[in-house]
Structure 1
Amino acid sequence: MFVFSNFIKALASIFDIVLSIYMWLIIGRAIISWVTPDPFNPIVRFLYNVTEPVLGFFRRRLPLVYGGLDLAPLLVLIVIVFLQRFLVTTLYEWAMRISMDG
């Protein structure tokens, strides 16, 4: 059972890293949106292509408030933190229980 436990731990670690990277990409996208970025810049295009599917999903479901303020990045960050605190922690604890039981 220790192999399955280690697999779950590795999965939780990878999931945590991916969520952290995506969180920084969302933050970078939000910061870039404060200025007028060059839409042909490869970094700007990369950030747009990677974050727009998730941000677009939340934008379609959120009304614009406070004169057009976009709250989608904030909501995505909250969801990422929730997933890190709940799902990743649950996977780690599940792996620990498996290793203790087996």
Structure 2
Amino acid sequence: MPFLASIIMGIAKLFGLAINIYTMIVIVAALISWVSPDPYNPIVRMLQTLTEPAFRFIRRLLPIRLRMLRIDISPIILLLFLTIAEAVLMRLFHMAAAAIVAP
């Protein structure tokens, strides 16, 4: 495998790892939101800092009827988006590496 293809695959793995870590953060934040966490806990603050901007963006895009539900579906939508984004990015990186190996 040529050197450039190895670099591309390494970058792909880093992107995949970053998406997987953020997916775990979203899951933990969603699970913690079911209980009444201490808002001054540093872990809770970190989770909110990392996830709340994405949740807020998704909530703004939701129709009013879905925003009125008692359950917040923004983590579910974000997890779906992350899963699709990871699959698409991995496919693109693999295609780029394959194009370099066999021009």
Do the two structures share a fold, i.e. TM-score over 0.5?
A: yes
Gaps of 5+ in 2: none
In the alignment, the residues of structure 1 paired with residue 60 and residue 45 of structure 2 have an alpha-carbon distance, to the nearest angstrom, of 21
What CA distance in whole angstroms lies between the structure 2 residues aligned with 1:4 and 1:67? Answer: 49
TM-score with structure 2 setting the length: 0.88
- Per-residue CA distance 1:54-80 (angstroms, 9 max, x = gap): 111111111352633211111100011
The count of residues paired between Structure 1 and Structure 2 equals 101
CA distance in 2, matches of 1:98, 1:40: 50
1: CA distance, partners of 2:59 / 2:102: 44
Range that drifts further, 46-55 or 92-101:
92-101
2:15 counterpart of 1:15 = yes
Q: Where in structure 1 do 4 or more consecutive aligned residues deviate above 3 Å?
A: none
What is the Cα-based RMSD across aligned positions, in Å?
A: 1.7
Residue type at the aligned position of 1:47: L
How far apart are 1:100 and its partner, in Å?
A: 2.2
**Deviation larger for 34-43 or 60-69:** 60-69
Unaligned ranges ≥5, structure 1: none
- What are the within-5 Å matches in structure 2 for residues 22-33 of structure 1? 22-33=22-33
CA distance in 1, matches of 2:41, 2:94: 39
2:78 aligns to what SS in structure 1?
helix
Superposed, 1:41-60 pairs within 5 Å as 41-60=41-60
Give 1:4 shift.
Answer: 2.2
Taking structure 1 as the reference length, the TM-score comes to 0.89
Q: 1:67, 1:98 → 2: CA distance?
A: 49
Does residue 73 of structure 2 align to residue 71 of structure 1?
Answer: yes
**Whole-angstrom CA distance in 2 between matches of 1:73 and 1:2:** 40
